[in-house]
Structure 1
């Protein structure tokens, strides 16, 4: 494929990602937001493929689409009261949100235009990407990896405690 075709495909995936993410944020229907989140996750995975990060792209699809999005959809569909509740908050923080968005866009454009070269570096990986990620995770980044697992364990225990606490309160009343 030539460079023009690759650029067009990249911009199509970038547009799908940004537009579906905007639909997630601005939609008032939770089901529509969840389904548009599917396109956002797939768009991000496609952008990872363009960055030659195939393992991260597959992980994106398996973890986010296969795990988190399916869990979110089941949670929304099994909750009957979600459709009858007003989801829009009374307080709208439009002005701070717009200012923060503009500041973020200016920062990204500044980074884009002041960076000298966007070409890949000279260093090449030896072996597969998965092997390199595994070696880095189990050597240089072992402490952050373990700390992250402890934080996830505490979050899981907290969620289990809160779920059990609600059931105990309902039985007493």
Structure 2
């Protein structure tokens, strides 16, 4: 494929990411926002592929789509069945959000147009990135890795305890 094809595919994925993210923000239905978030996460993963960051793209799909988004959907659906609440949200603070959007886009455009030349680096990576990440995680960063896993385990136990405590307390009343 030539460069024009790559550029057009990049713009397609960038548009999917931006429009689905806008739908997440401006949708009044929480379920629709969560499903739009799915397209946002996949779009970001595709952009990582274009940056030759395959490991981060797969991690994006596994962690965010496979974990966080599914957890969010289950949480919203279970909360809806327990509380029988209307899952609508109002879009608030449109003016400050629009000002922040204009400032961010202005800053990005300023950076884009004032930077000299955009060219790929001449430095090429040798070896597997995944292998290097594995070696670093299990050698230099093993303590923070294990601390994060213990923290996540404690959070899981705490969430299970709190969910069970509410159910037991509601049955006693």
The alignment covers a number of residue pairs equal to 172
Q: What is the CA-CA distance between 1:24 and the residue it aligns to?
A: 1.3
Contact 1:76–1:82 at 8 Å: present in 2 too?
no
C-alpha separation between the residues in 2 aligned to 1:72 and 1:13? Answer: 24
Q: What is the CA-CA distance between 1:105 and the residue it aligns to?
A: 2.3
Q: What is the CA-CA distance between 1:33 and the residue it aligns to?
A: 1.7
More deviation in 14-23 or 56-65? 56-65
1:169 aligns with 2:146: no
Long gaps (5+) in structure 1: none
Indicate the structure whose relative CO is greater, using CA pairs within 8 Å and at least 6 residues apart: 2
Instruction: Find runs of 4+ consecutive structure 1 residues off by over 6 angstroms.
Output: none
* Corresponding residue for residue 7 of structure 1: 7
C-alpha separation between the residues in 2 aligned to 1:43 and 1:86? Answer: 26
The correspondence of residues 110-125 of structure 1 with structure 2, limited to 5 A, is 110-125=110-125
C-alpha separation between the residues in 2 aligned to 1:2 and 1:81? Answer: 54
Alpha-carbon distance change, 86 to 130 in structure 1, aligned in 2, over 3 angstroms = closer
C-alpha separation between the residues in 2 aligned to 1:119 and 1:138? Answer: 34
* Corresponding residue for residue 88 of structure 1: 89
Could you give the per-residue CA deviations for residues 97-154 of structure 1, whole angstroms, max 9, x where no partner exists?
2232233223333333344444333333231110122223334544544454354344
Alpha-carbon distance change, 129 to 163 in structure 1, aligned in 2, over 3 angstroms = same
Long gaps (5+) in structure 2: none
The correspondence of residues 6-155 of structure 1 with structure 2, limited to 5 A, is 6-78=6-78, 79-80=80-81, 84-85=85-86, 87-89=88-90, 92-142=92-142, 144-155=144-155
Could you give the per-residue CA deviations for residues 53-83 of structure 1, whole angstroms, max 9, x where no partner exists?
1121122222222233233333334433677
